[in-house]
Amino acid sequence: MTPLFTALDVEKHYVVGTDPRAAWFAARKPRLLKALDGVRLQIAEGESLALVGESGSGKSTLVRLMLGLEPASNGRLLYRQADVSQFDAAARKTFSREVAFVYQDARGSMNPRQRVRSLLAEPMLLHDLCSDSQVNERVDRLLEQVGLSQELAERFPAELSGGQVRRVAVARALACEPKVIVADESVAGLDVSMQAQLLNLLRGLCRERGLTLIFITHDLGVASYLCERIAVMYLGRVVEEGPTTEILNRPMHPYTRGLMRAFPSFSRPLAASLKGEIPSPIDLPAGCRFASRCPQATPDCVDVDPVLKPVAGDRSVACILAV
């Protein structure tokens, strides 16, 4: 099957600690923050994938590059085998209709001066999906699909609760009839019951419409409920990837096992399982970048920088011990 998205050794580096406007900047060797450092990943059409990892692992940066919001420093990001960075105006418009993004800060992503009806109508009219006379009917239908009453269409974002504004954000993503939904921590900060409602909504919509879902989260419980596959990221790389049930039942990378032990459970006390300091992405260590925190590290781990390799079944892992 031809993958929908493909990341081919994608890198994203930012220059830090120097002022490019200064005269002496050109004479200094720039310091680079390696937000992404050789990401390899494939996402099939109709698949649901969770990007999991601690803060600073590169999840959101990867998604920004996938959406074409920033260029990669190296490597290639493909959508339907076409390089995202090389899209012309027509291809970019098609891409923006097919791939919808649900922001983590849903309220902040909306124009506070627009009512909900206007916010939902905007993508429909932008992509010529309906006539002016059909807009109100389609907006009402969208609100119904995400479990909101039609009377909310006349409210401003500031008049909505946290759960309501997240549902409006999902409705706005669906308004352009996308094939892919990318969601960045879309249930973070909500109470448990509201999280469950929103997760059920996303899960149901993806199954009914055959949508591809890319979901960024640090919560393995959310990932296990919502997504068929998991890609675990650490310091700018994917260190383990495969079917959700297999990864959660038999994690192969020590970092994944550490995340699993940090996940709350009624059967054991909660303890910090990942000890030690995270290496700086400005000054990455030689060898495996997880070696300083890994309880199973060997002398070879300090010298060998493991790459993501396929292992048994439909899984990949970047660890010399697992391989």
Position 112 in a domain: yes
Q: Is residue 63 one of the residues assigned to a domain?
A: yes
Residue 182's Cα: distance from chain center in Å? 6
Would you say residue 323 lies in a domain? no
Per-residue pLDDT at 271: 59
pLDDT of residue 265: 61
Where residue 180 sits, what CATH number does that domain have? 3.40.50.300
Q: What is the pLDDT of residue 89?
A: 92
Which is nearest to 34 in space by CA: 71, 61, 70? 61
Q: 126 lies in a domain?
A: yes
| Cα–Cα dist 26/104, whole Å | 37
Model pLDDT, residue 75:
93
For the stretch 5-51, pLDDT in tens is: 999 999 999 888 665 555 555 556 678 889 999 999 999 999 999 99
| In a domain? residue 322 | no
pLDDT of amino acid 17: 67
**Confidence (pLDDT) at 28:** 63
Q: For residue 243, is it within any domain?
A: yes
184 domain-assigned: yes
Handedness of CA 270, 273, 277, 282 (dihedral sign): negative
Nearest alpha carbon to residue 232 among 212, 209, 255: 255
Instruction: Give the model's pLDDT for residue 1.
Output: 62
What pLDDT does residue 111 have?
92
Range of the domain at 207: 5-317
145-183 pLDDT, tens per residue?
888 898 999 999 999 988 899 889 999 999 988 999 998
For 144-156, b/e burial (b = at least 16 CB within 10 A) is ebbebeeebbeee
> What is the four-CA torsion angle of 243, 247, 276, 263, rounded to 10 degrees?
100
Number of folded domains in the chain?
A: 1
Cα(179)–Cα(177) distance, rounded to whole angstroms?
Answer: 7
- Residues of the chain short of pLDDT 50, as ranges, are none
pTM: 0.88
In a domain, 210, yes or no: yes
